[in-house]
A and B are shown apart, each in its own frame.
Chain A
Amino acid sequence: EAQVTQNPRYLITVTGKKLTVTCSQNMNHEYMSWYRQDPGLGLRQIYYSMNVEVTDKGDVPEGYKVSRKEKRNFPLILESPSPNQTSLYFCATGTSARSYEQYFGPGTRLTVT
């Protein structure tokens, strides 16, 4: 079954404690991306990757890191989380081979206290 998975789905943490949210896809998609969703602000892109070892900043990259060492995984790293990073995070994947559709993961709800 084609899918995008994220882990963890829910996380409550404290300010400054490094964390990683994983994203994995089994669709062999080149394109992967991270978004955060906040009430009234819609979906804002954090980072994206066009392929392995290629990453670029989105609209709100401050406080986040990513890596793309293999095609299927695109982890989001918060080195020193702060309360303003409390949000709902979505990973998305896509390919331009047939269409530009992006497939979203189930989301990770992060709370930083």
Chain B
Amino acid sequence: GENVEQHPSTLSVQEGDSAVIKCTYSDSASNYFPWYKQELGKRPQLIIDIRSNVGEKKDQRIAVTLNKTAKHFSLHITETQPEDSAVYFCAASLFGSGNTPLVFGKGTRLSVIA
């Protein structure tokens, strides 16, 4: 089955700097790669996702890049703010015929220092 590795497990950045979180996946058939943000004591919420037919997607200060050949994808947060502090999870799955479970990475705790 699918296996997702996420690095780093913790990340501290100064406010205004950029943060990058990287994930690798094992199943070359996976075609959907979401990123979820979980604030302390709250439920995970989708912040951005990308499908395998796209190499990059951007939404204001966050962007995700996908390299299907290398089987890795990354989350980029620019101009970080204290409210970006949270745990971020990447995930991978195959959606379509023969859907498979969404497999999550172990998470990255991002701390933005004011």
Contact = CB atoms under 8 A, between A and B. Distances in A.
Q: What interface size band does chain B fall in?
A: 20 to 34
Contact of A104 (B45, B95, B106, B107): B45
A59 to B, nearest CB: 7
Interface stretch (A10-18, A19-27, A37-45): A37-45
Contacts, number: 51
Interface residues of A, number: 24
Interface stretch (B58-66, B72-80, B97-105): B97-105
A43 B101 contact: no
Contact of B106 (A42, A56, A100): A42
A101 B37 CA distance: 13
Given A101-B34, A102-B46, A45 B103 contact: yes
Contacts of A105: 43
Nearest to A96: B95
A107 interface: yes
Interface in B19-53: 32, 34, 43-46, 49
A74 interface: no
Given A41-B106, A101-B46, 17 more contacts: A35-B104, A40-B106, A42-B107, A43-B104, A44-B104, A45-B102, A45-B104, A48-B101, A50-B99, A59-B1, A90-B43, A90-B44, A100-B34, A100-B95, A102-B102, A104-B43, A106-B43
